[in-house]
Structure 1
Amino acid sequence: MTDWRTETVERVRALIFEADPDVVEEAKWRKASNPDGVPTFSHSGLICTLETYKDKVKVTFAKGASLADPSGLFNASMTAGTRRALDIHADDKLDEKAFRELVREAVILNES
C-alpha cells in the first residue's frame, strides 16, 4: 500500500542521492517489529537515518547539532547533544534545496 509516507520516503531518498550520488544506503537495526530495518545513509560516516511512523517521516542527522541550518529545517531532537531531526508530516512541504544543502554539509563534516 502506498500512502503519503511512502511517497515522502522515496522523495527524501531521491534528494539524498541528488545531493551526493556516492552515498551508501544500508538497512540496519532489523528486529521482529521492523524486519526491513532502518534505512541509513553514509558517506565517510553516517549522515542520516530515515524512519516511518504513523504520523510522520523522521530524518535524523547523526551530527545535526554541528550543522548550520539557516533554513530552519530541523524541528525535532533540538536538545539532543549531537543529533538533530526533521519530522515531516502529511501536509508539510519540504524545502528541497535546503535539504540537499544539509546533506552536502553533513558529508563535508564527515570528511573533515
Structure 2
Amino acid sequence: MTRKPAKTSKSPKAGGDGKPVLLSGGNPQIAKAYGDAPVQAYIAAMPGWKTGLGRRLDEIITRTVPDVHKAVKWNSPFYGIEGEGWFLSFHCFARYVKVAFFRGAALDPVPPGTSKQKDVRYLDIYEDDELDEARFADWVRQASLLPGERM
C-alpha cells in the first residue's frame, strides 16, 4: 500500500441538505481519499445507531494499531499498514454493519462470517448485538500483523 496524498478536488457527494448521499442500504457515498478525515466523514454520515458503532470500531482499531493508515475506497473505510496493504474494512447495510477481515481465515478464532473468497471472513454487527470489544481488538491486532491486500 503506497500512501497517496488526499485529493482535495473531490468532496463527499452531497444531497440537497449538504449531507453525503446514502446509497443502497444506507451506505454513505464518500469520495475516494486517504487519511483520517474521509474516514471520519464516512462515520459521521453513517445513519442512526451505526454512527456510534462506526466510532467504536474506529477507536478500537486506532487504539490497537496506533500507526494504522486509513482511507475511504469504494464507499467504505479501509485500514492498513504502510507498505503492507489493507487488513480490514467495514460497510453499512440496511440492518447491519459488515466488517471484512481480508485475511480472516488466518485469525484465531476465525470470525464467523464466510466469503466466496477463501481468505476473507466477516463480522456482521446488528443494532442489538453486543460487540465483544476484546475479541474484536484481538482480531484487529492479529489481522494487522498479516500481509494485507493491495487494492
- How many residue pairs align between the two structures? 101
Deviation string, structure 1 residues 38-84 (Cα, Å, up to 9, x no partner): 11001122111110111001100001011112xx6x23225641100
User: How do residues 1-112 of structure 1 correspond to structure 2 at under 5 angstroms?
Assistant: 3-29=48-74, 37-43=75-81, 44-69=84-109, 74-77=111-114, 80-110=117-147
User: Runs ≥4 in structure 1, deviation > 3 angstroms?
Assistant: none
**Hey, what does 2:20 align to over in structure 1?**
none
| Identity percentage of aligned residues | 32
Letter aligned with residue 101 of structure 2: F
Q: Normalised by the size of structure 2, how large is the TM-score?
A: 0.61
Unaligned runs of 5+ in 1: 30-36
Larger of the two Rg values belongs to structure: 2
Task: Give me the whole-angstrom Cα distance separating, in 2, the residues matched to 1:56 and 1:103.
Answer: 19
> Secondary structure of the residue that 1:109 maps to in structure 2?
coil
Q: Which has the higher contact order (CA 8 A, sep 6+)?
A: 1
Deviation string, structure 1 residues 25-44 (Cα, Å, up to 9, x no partner): 10112xxxxxxx21100112
Q: Normalised by the size of structure 1, how large is the TM-score?
A: 0.81
**Hey, what does 1:34 align to over in structure 2?**
none
